[in-house]
Amino acid sequence: MSFFRRDRRVPGRVTAQEAAARTGQGKAAEGGADAVLLDVREPHEWQAGHAPRAVHLPLSALAAGAGLPAGAQAGPIVVICRSGNRSRRAADLLAARGTEAVDVIGGMRDWAAAGLPVVDSRGGNGTVT
């Protein structure tokens, strides 16, 4: 069963583990990856540490009307930030535009706490700031 709601105007919420499974990240990947992980944190946060294969678009740019990056246009979106507040707002914005989106409860903090991979801008071990 999909964790994306039938009514795209009302985004759902998922745990870090569910997000990882849905986006094909880390140990939680089970071959059912069909969504793109969109990180909406600011550039300095992204550079310090993000999920591998995530796509970056700061919430400020999304709120200003920026379109989704090419890597995030193909399917459903799982939105993540540091703690879950910005990703919730981003998921609401995307849903209002007709995009199928959910946000990650607890954001990158919960992602890292779950032992899921975090890389920095150079591909090394990253940290969540």
What is the set of active-site residues?
81
Cα–Cα distance list, 124 to 42, 47, 57, 118 (Å): 19, 11, 21, 8
Give the strand order in the sheet containing 55-56.
Answer: 12-14, 101-104, 77-80, 36-39, 55-56
Q: How far apart are CA 60 and CA 116, in angstroms?
A: 26
Residue at token pair 């540490």? 49
